[in-house]
Amino acid sequence: MVGFIDSSLYPQSQAVANSYVKRGYNVFVTETLALLSHIYPKSVRLARVIGKKVGEFLVKLTEQGLSADNLELVGLSLGAHIMAYASKHLYAVTGKKPSRITGLDPAGPCFRSLPAKYKLDSSDAVRVDVVHTNIDGFGMAEPLGHVDFYVNGGEFQPGDITFIPCLIICSHLKSVIYWWQALEHPTKFIGVKCDSVQDARLARCYNNTETNYLGPKTNFSTPGIFYLSTTNVFPYFRGKAGLVPENEIYTSFIRKINDEDNFVV
């Protein structure tokens, strides 16, 4: 499910879809650009309508033989909440939940103060995982899944040009790129468990030993909050090197920004 002012035809949507196809999935990518190109508050109001329509489509698929046990939903930003609405409708009609929902930096504006029934929540699927990349901007700091990854602290991401971080939109959209590469490299994006979101924000988690993979290999029997470190060079994964504190200047800069809770605009 694409997000606000997003299209199924955009390169990032096609890249993620192709990665799923290579893994043997049948893939549907929703096209909602015409509906989600209004001013943001109006698009938020339309999200519930779109989610119900997607849910109705999923009900029809189950009537044609699709098992909810084989159904996985992925949504970026506003699309993450739309997938939650779709799942809620599916459950209301069939009593079945999707096997998995993955939220890619679920939208924060207009959602942060809402109760669980109006946004993505861990109850919306058998397994819910979330990638946080811009928690105080377009994303959301609150853990929403069974497993929540806070990439590089979850607030700002390192830019591809050394020492220059992604700004708000860039960091928000990096969630898609990380997920795409996690599909391509299922055991290379490794997070370390944290005791709190604040610890994840400040990368104060390296005293813990529990780890988890971002992507198809995520272990949902090890739920919780995870700090995930990346490089600033495509394809971004650090592998096991990400399980020890980094000394790179750019990650120190990112951490300083997160610690001061400043926006760089």
59-63, long-range: CB < 8 A, 24+ apart: 59/89, 59/90, 59/93, 59/94, 62/90, 62/94, 62/96
Provide the token pair at 191.
């997070």
Q: Are 75 and 115 in contact (CB under 8 A)?
A: no
Catalytic residue among 81, 89, 105, 124: 105
Residue 105 is a catalytic residue: yes
* CA 233 – CA 20 distance, rounded (Å): 23
Catalytic residue among 172, 175, 185, 229: 172
* CA 73 – CA 29 distance, rounded (Å): 10
Q: Could you identify the residue written with the tokens 């994964």?
A: 237
Residue 175 is a catalytic residue: no
Report the C-alpha dihedral over residues 81, 87, 92, 98, rounded to 10 degrees: -150
- The residues, ordered by sequence, that sit 6+ positions from 168 with a Cβ below 8 Å of its Cβ are 134, 137, 138, 263, 265
Catalytic residue among 77, 122, 175, 229: 77
**Pairing, β 224-228 against β 211-213:** unpaired
Residue 77 is a catalytic residue: yes
Q: Is 116 left (phi over 0), alpha (psi -120 to 50) or beta?
A: alpha
Give the residue numbers marked as catalytic: 77, 105, 172
